[in-house]
């Protein structure tokens, strides 16, 4: 393991010197890129240092025990050797995970879209609850949330919602949320107390700043309209809202949060870039569908990934067969346990794939 981490440690030391170099600091774009790279390998470098220290301690103990004659001291050193070997094993396992190929989008911000699917008004109401859940989860992580599009029903449900979530490693955690979320409960509109099943779709797209494909003006249809609130009531007398249709793919993006048409257009174009990136990437990924089946991060949008069973107070993720029995706190944004379980499962599958190669 040390052979693999030595070069990374050397690069980390090199970056540590570069980020405090006045000439590098003067070039802000380069400095930010180097700081980001240093941060991405810092944990590996720290583990490397710890592993070097443990390996040295282990060898020292083994050398001493060869010449030691006191039986009590020999037992002490044997115990020390066992403890050190356990620490080395645990650190090697940690480094195995840290050295796994990283998703190129893990450190990106995201566009999160929520849409009611089957279930009418109940699906719209649950879509609104999911939106609030993700907003609260973002707050727990210190992330910034911006509303791109928000259409509500008269009863307070969601017709459509698009959020930009910005912060550290947002995509690495939220990417597992893409898919169909199923809710089972007695709706407020149900007079006979029957449990209904409704579904909501969630899409999590990495926010792409630079794209390797061209978006041509002739491929875009741009419409303006008035921003509207719940029940379709106009809250803006000017046509500041923007709807952009990418004609070749049929992808439609709307943005109405900003009062300025120019700002809405800018935000809508950024969202379109992310959607087109996801569209083209998905086409490529279908060629490697067998590899994708072993991962949980970017599954089919039509796949039912999770059930929220309110009568039983249970949330079950069907990809990893893992349940949490505290639906109230979960819906309040306390979803970290589920996220961590999904990350561990994903990492384990990647390790298994590496061992088979």
Give the pLDDT band of residue 279 (cuts 50, 70, 90). confident
Range in 16-30, 186-200, 280-294 the model is least confident about: 280-294
Whether 185 is covered by a domain: the verdict is: yes
pLDDT at 37: 86
For the chain, the domain total comes to 2
How far apart are alpha carbons 185 and 111 in whole angstroms? 28
The answer on 79 and 156 residing in a single domain is no
Asked if residue 47 has pLDDT above 60, the reply is: yes
pTM (predicted TM-score)? 0.69
Whether 355 is covered by a domain: the verdict is: no
Q: Looking at residues 150-160, what average pLDDT do you find?
A: 87
Q: Domain span at residue 53?
A: 2-98
Whether 357 is covered by a domain: the verdict is: no
pLDDT one-digit tens code per residue, 19-45: 999 999 999 889 988 998 898 889 899
The answer on 79 and 146 residing in a single domain is no
Whether 354 is covered by a domain: the verdict is: no
C-beta separation of 58 from 81 below 8 A = yes
pLDDT at 191: 64
Whether 53 is covered by a domain: the verdict is: yes
The answer on 326 and 255 residing in a single domain is yes
CATH number at residue 308: 3.30.70.1660
Whether 295 is covered by a domain: the verdict is: no
pLDDT one-digit tens code per residue, 202-219: 999 888 766 556 788 888
The answer on 163 and 91 residing in a single domain is no
Across the chain, the runs of DSSP E, i.e. the strands, are 110-116, 144-152, 158-166, 179-185, 196-206, 220-225, 241-246, 251-255, 304-309, 314-317, 322-324
| Share in percent of the chain as helix, strand, coil (round to 5) | 50, 20, 25
Whether 334 is covered by a domain: the verdict is: yes
The answer on 66 and 190 residing in a single domain is no
Give the pLDDT band of residue 261 (cuts 50, 70, 90). confident
**Of 67, 98, 129, the domain-final residue:** 98
Whether 274 is covered by a domain: the verdict is: yes
Backbone angles phi, psi at 225, to 5 degrees: -155, 170
Asked if residue 295 has pLDDT above 80, the reply is: no
């Amino acid at each position: 393991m040390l052979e693999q981490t030595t070069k990374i440690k050397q690069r980390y030391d090199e970056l540590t010197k570069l980020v405090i170099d006045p000439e590098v600091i003067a070039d802000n774009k380069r400095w930010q890129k180097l700081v980001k790279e240093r941060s991405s390998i810092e944990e590996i470098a720290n583990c490397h240092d710890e592993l070097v220290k443990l390996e040295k301690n282990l060898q020292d103990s083994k050398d001493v025990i060869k010449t030691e004659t006191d039986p009590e001291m020999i037992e002490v050193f044997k115990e020390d050797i066992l403890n050190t070997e356990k620490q080395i094993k645990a650190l090697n396992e940690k480094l195995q995970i840290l050295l796994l190929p990283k998703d190129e989008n893990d450190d990106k911000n995201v566009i999160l879209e929520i849409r009611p699917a089957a279930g009418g008004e109940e699906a719209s109401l649950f879509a609104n609850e999911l939106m609030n859940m993700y907003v609260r989860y973002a707050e727990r992580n210190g992330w910034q949330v911006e509303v791109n599009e928000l259409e509500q029903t008269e009863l307070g449900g969601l017709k459509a919602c698009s959020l930009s979530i910005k912060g550290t490693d947002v995509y690495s955690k939220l990417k597992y949320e893409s898919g169909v979320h199923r809710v089972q409960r007695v709706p407020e509109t149900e007079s006979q107390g029957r449990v209904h099943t409704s579904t909501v779709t969630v899409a999590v797209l990495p926010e792409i700043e630079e794209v390797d494909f061209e978006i041509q003006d002739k491929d875009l249809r741009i419409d303006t309209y008035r921003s509207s609130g719940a029940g379709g009531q106009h809250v803006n007398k000017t046509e500041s809202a923007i709807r952009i249709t990418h004609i070749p793919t049929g992808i439609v993006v709307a943005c109405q949060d900003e009062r300025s048409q120019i700002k809405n257009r800018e935000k809508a174009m950024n969202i379109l870039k992310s959607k087109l990136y996801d569209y083209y990437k998905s086409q490529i990924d279908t060629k490697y569908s067998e590899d994708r089946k072993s991962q949980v991060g970017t599954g089919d949008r039509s796949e039912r990934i999770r059930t929220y069973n309110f009568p039983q107070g249970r949330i079950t993720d069907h990809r990893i067969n893992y349940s949490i029995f505290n639906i109230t706190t979960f819906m309040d944004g306390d979803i970290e346990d589920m996220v961590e379980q999904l990350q561990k499962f994903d990492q384990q599958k990647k390790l298994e794939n590496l061992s088979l190669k």
